[in-house]
A and B are shown apart, each in its own frame.
Chain A
Amino acid sequence: MTIQLYLVGVMWQFYEKQQQMPPEIAREKAFLTLHSMMISDGAKPKRADKQIAFIKEMSKLKDGDEALAIHIGYESKPDDESLSEVFDHYIDEPRVSGALWRSYDRGKKIILLGGLFVGVVAVWFVTIFIPESSELTILATGLVAACLFILPTFLIGLLIYRNKVKQGERS
């Protein structure tokens, strides 16, 4: 979405400065052009309509100012570093798209290896200390133990992400 907001800014600048259109019309045209780009890139019309409505909603801040990505796109010049500037602003912003995925990507090794370890320990424990257990019981114990590790770890990760978002909203 950050890139789409940036593109709206670039296209707004194109219509207003290169085609001499009034600002409000140029802004509206930029959204229409983004809609057309999404359709030509293969998005379904209904999905594109929803996405444009959402981007329009996100394009204005609570105080009525334009969103940062739109503003930087609007002020961009050829051969500048405007897009990386947008990302630099969002570097510590957990709400920006991809942050949740990156956290999951970092934590998935811990979750999977931890789950595997706990499962193996549970299977070992049952095999050694309750030898009369059936194979199915041993397997089920391993799976349940792995789930008991994976689910809480995943939930703790989500909780940390939620806290980071709340901290970001406060600051």
Chain B
Amino acid sequence: MDNKQINQAKSEDETDLLNHCVQYAKVILNEQLARIKSENMTLRLNLNS
């Protein structure tokens, strides 16, 4: 492998890692938002009952 190929592989690795991190953060955020939404619904139901 020459330098160009090594650099390209490094850059691809970095992009993969970044995408992986974005996916991880999005999963966590969606999970947390869904939890807040369901808590809010429960609170509203409790207040209405």
Residues of A that sit less than 8 Å from B by CB: 3, 6-7, 10-11, 14-15, 19, 29-30, 32-33, 36-37, 40, 76, 78-79, 81-84, 87
Within 8-41 of B, Cβ neighbours of A (below 8 Å) are at: 17-18, 21-22, 24-25, 28-29, 31-33, 35-36, 39
With the chains together, A12 CA to B25 CA distance in Å? 10
Q: How far is the CB of B25 from chain A (nearest CB, A)?
A: 5
Measured CA separation A76–B29 after assembly (Å): 11
**In the complex the two chains form, is B32's CB within 8 Å of A84's CB?**
yes
Contacts of B17 in A (CB 8 A): 19
Q: Is the CB of A14 within 8 A of B32?
A: no
A-B pairs with beta carbons under 8 Å apart, 11 shown: A6-B29, A10-B28, A14-B21, A19-B17, A32-B18, A33-B21, A33-B25, A83-B32, A83-B33, A83-B35, A84-B35
B contacts with A, residue count (CB < 8 A): 14
Contacts of B39 in A (CB 8 A): 84
Given contacts A7-B29, A10-B28, contact A84 B36 (CB under 8 A): yes
